Structure 1
Amino acid sequence: MITANDFDVSAAWHVAAPYDFLRVLRRERPVFRSEHLGAYVITRYEDVRAAYGDPRRFSSEGSLTISRTLSEETRRTLGEHGSFLSSFVANIDPPAHTRLRRSVSRAFTPRAVAAMRRRFSDLNEELLERALPRGGGDFVAELAHPPSVKLTARFIGVPEADEAFVQERVKDWFQLFLSPQPAERQPVLAEGFLTYLDYVDKLVAARAAEPRDDFVSLMASLIGTELSHREVVELISTILLGGNDTVPNQLGNSVLRLLREGAWPVPPAMVQSAVEECMRIDGASLGSFRHTTTDVEMHGVTIPAGSLCLLSTDSAAHDETVFTEPERFRIDRRNADAHMTLGYGIHFCVGAALARLQLRTALEVLGRRLPGLRLAPGGPIAYRASIVGRGLSALHVEW
């Protein structure tokens, strides 16, 4: 019998296939305390959305600050950077959040996002020209990540020569803060993270001195008037995570789903709908953390003030009261975009339009150039361990 005590975020099924488990909990224990996670988990759609929309009771302040599984040695290594993300836009409440989001949004205008579509399409085309003769490979490493990494680098202002360095350091970031790690590996990841932070710090300083036409320069121009130097460094560091990790993860999840469902290639007219349904059913984000600022009563459970809560967008996206037959992939699902994989309310992802553009463009180009794409026989399907993210470690395909 499934119980709330089984909610183990270090178990492989937590990322790969939690849906039967979460369905039982939505029905029987929609709010429960997970001892493994050290947090209350909120699973129903209406409750998750309400918590996202209530920053006064469910605060973002410190919600992304370092993983609570870090050893004392790792904390000493991180030093003052143990509170990294303390001023990142997703990790604070109004009014500071309002100020930061207003500044960041300047770079994500509809015109600016649309201008990147052609560049991203070209990057995918160029990659496929080189990959086609091979006849197959690891979709995650060889097809999903490179175009997104390059587009993000161009948008941010990372020199091409530094792309590989940044991608590796972002992996350290992801593993250290967003996935359980053994104590002996944490100091190595912490050193890699500090190297990454130092790189971004120097990049911001360089663009402040000699501006260019990129995101770093735009944000650096606001230092001293709207933003602090640290705020800009944290913004750059974390947006790089999205382009180097989250978007490619979602693309890998989406392609696996489409291949398994026999829905490849996606008809051009259905690409937008397919993107939303894939984000709903196999979201790259499993949820977000919040802290309660007061006692909260929910379904007969009292969540004490100061408690850590996981808003399970993964469970919400499979809530049968909102999505009919939620475990069934329906490429034409009319309300698929009601998922909260990209957040909700004031913390709706500021780069959501760019993420959606990348996913649509990738599926269009890949579907046209690789109509015979298929899973390689016997290829293992495994996900990376994570507390709040879903991404394949590899996906072996043929074409």
Structure 2
Amino acid sequence: MIEDFDVGSDWHVASPYPFLARLRAERPVFRSEHLGAYVLTRHADVRAAYGDPRRFSSKGSLTISRSLTRETRDRLGEHGSFLSSFVANVDPPDHTRLRRSVSRAFTPRAVAAMEERFRRLNEDLLDRIGPRRAADFVRDIGHEPSIKLTARFIGVPEADEDFVQAHVKDWFQLFLSPQPPGRQLELAGSFLDYLDYVDRLVAARAKEPRDDFTSLMTSLIGTELTHREVVELISTILLGGNDTVPNQLGNTVLRLLRENAWPVDPARIRNAAEECMRIDGASLGSFRYVTTDVTLHGVTIPAGALVLLSTDSAAHDETVFPDPERFVIDRPNADAHLVFGYGIHFCVGAALGRLQLRTALEVLGRRLPTLRLVPGEPIAYRRSIVGRGLAALAVEW
């Protein structure tokens, strides 16, 4: 019987649900020695904690992985506190100011305008990939359109897309996935190169603005934002577009193929996407620090303690989602999952992420209606503390 989380084990990301169900029933406030944190597992508790930033503070919650060695921390230097001023890592009033600035670029009109561009990117990719009749979905299909859309949005030149993708992957591994000491140092060097690149991009747009997110944010330096805040905003949005959104698409396609629900009727894609995010979310949760003693279900979480808000567990809470391990394409409350967070930290890019997922499913279903898994190929997930993504997915059509 599993007694604790173990991010080095395959089950932690691939199939934690029997363990999480036991925690919800027996120990809804669980002290994980492995994570060095308390874990909230019930939907109501996770939602309430997201909605209570005064007691469950985001300040410092994303800052430097606790698994890094002293040598790696020294290598990172001041950047060991990277994300210290990112919008998801601060509380009001800084959060209010940062969120207001970022939201200027995510208006409904701006998001809608990206739909046709993203659709075209998917169509162009399938024009090239289609004749092959087989592919690794993760490597060959799932990432490229989102990477290119994000690059255009941010203002990354096409020639730099591969550099950014490789370094974002290294960033993910460094901060969100357990690594041996030697590998940590390699990843730290890559991460510093990545920050230097973004810093130079910001400086270039300050001199010569263009119609992109970097120029918009750079124009606010000195009035609403600092240079470091702009670098961190850009770096983190690139992570979402290069990693989180493609991971969700891969998880979703795998689920639909396994459930014999491919291709999805266009009229059902919106709800199917929500149900896939619920049952196979790319985000497993968020960390918070409690600012005062919090007593919940008879357990007192001491002030200053780290807490994981397990959205993965919340999305499988049987009191909210009946028969939670069953995929129900028309589940009426599928969108009650908390993959994008809740409250003041609800993901500013949620609308764009949803649009990308729905658009990709529509185009892929129409262009590759006979898509299927390659028989006998193992399904493996990347090991991570807070993310779910496939390492590879062999498909044919």
TM-score (norm 1): 0.99
Residue in 2 that maps onto 1:241: 239
Residue in 2 that maps onto 1:54: 52
Give 1:306 deviation, angstroms.
0.3
Gaps of 5+ in 1: none
| Residue 269 (str. 1) matches residue 241 (str. 2) | no
Residue in 2 that maps onto 1:370: 368
Residue in 2 that maps onto 1:227: 225
Count of residue correspondences: 397
Superposed CA offset, 1:326-350 (max 9, x none): 0000010110000000111100000
The one-letter code of the counterpart of 2:352 is L
Residue in 2 that maps onto 1:44: 42
CA distance in 1, matches of 2:156, 2:266: 32
Gaps of 5+ in 2: none
CA distance in 2, matches of 1:32, 1:137: 41
Residue in 1 that maps onto 2:388: 390
Question: SS of 1:174's equivalent?
Answer: helix
Residue in 2 that maps onto 1:73: 71
The one-letter code of the counterpart of 2:225 is L
Question: SS of 1:116's equivalent?
Answer: helix
CA distance in 1, matches of 2:207, 2:51: 40
CA distance in 1, matches of 2:111, 2:126: 23
CA distance in 1, matches of 2:287, 2:8: 17
Give 1:378 deviation, angstroms.
1.2
Question: SS of 1:283's equivalent?
Answer: coil
CA distance in 1, matches of 2:233, 2:154: 10
Superposed CA offset, 1:48-88 (max 9, x none): 00000001110000000010000111001100000000000
Choose the corresponding residue for 2:116, options 115, 118, 131. Answer: 118
- Give the conservation status (yes or no) of the 8 Å contact 2:4–2:33: no
Give 1:6 deviation, angstroms.
2.5
| Residue 91 (str. 1) matches residue 89 (str. 2) | yes
Question: SS of 1:306's equivalent?
Answer: coil
Choose the corresponding residue for 1:361, options 359, 362, 366. Answer: 359
CA distance in 1, matches of 2:160, 2:5: 40
Give 1:9 deviation, angstroms.
2.2
Residue in 2 that maps onto 1:284: 282
Residue in 1 that maps onto 2:177: 179
Give 1:21 deviation, angstroms.
0.7
CA distance in 2, matches of 1:390, 1:203: 30
CA distance in 2, matches of 1:33, 1:21: 14
Give 1:377 deviation, angstroms.
1.1
TM-score (norm 2): 0.99
CA distance in 2, matches of 1:90, 1:298: 24
Percent of residue pairs identical: 80
Residue in 2 that maps onto 1:157: 155
Choose the corresponding residue for 2:378, options 377, 380, 383. Answer: 380
CA distance in 2, matches of 1:320, 1:363: 28
CA distance in 1, matches of 2:5, 2:390: 21
CA distance in 2, matches of 1:208, 1:280: 41
Choose the corresponding residue for 2:248, options 247, 250, 261. Answer: 250
CA distance in 2, matches of 1:146, 1:102: 30
Question: SS of 2:210's equivalent?
Answer: coil
Residue in 1 that maps onto 2:7: 9
Residue in 2 that maps onto 1:34: 32
- Across the aligned residues of Structure 1 and Structure 2, the Cα RMSD in angstroms comes to 0.6
The one-letter code of the counterpart of 2:77 is G
Question: SS of 1:397's equivalent?
Answer: strand
The one-letter code of the counterpart of 1:308 is L
Write out aligned runs for 1:265-344 (5 A). 265-344=263-342
The one-letter code of the counterpart of 2:144 is P
Give 1:367 deviation, angstroms.
0.1
CA distance in 2, matches of 1:195, 1:90: 23
CA distance in 2, matches of 1:63, 1:144: 29
Give 1:7 deviation, angstroms.
1.9
CA distance in 2, matches of 1:307, 1:10: 23
Runs of 4+ aligned structure 1 residues displaced above 4 Å come to none
Question: SS of 2:300's equivalent?
Answer: strand
The one-letter code of the counterpart of 2:390 is L
CA distance in 1, matches of 2:341, 2:205: 31
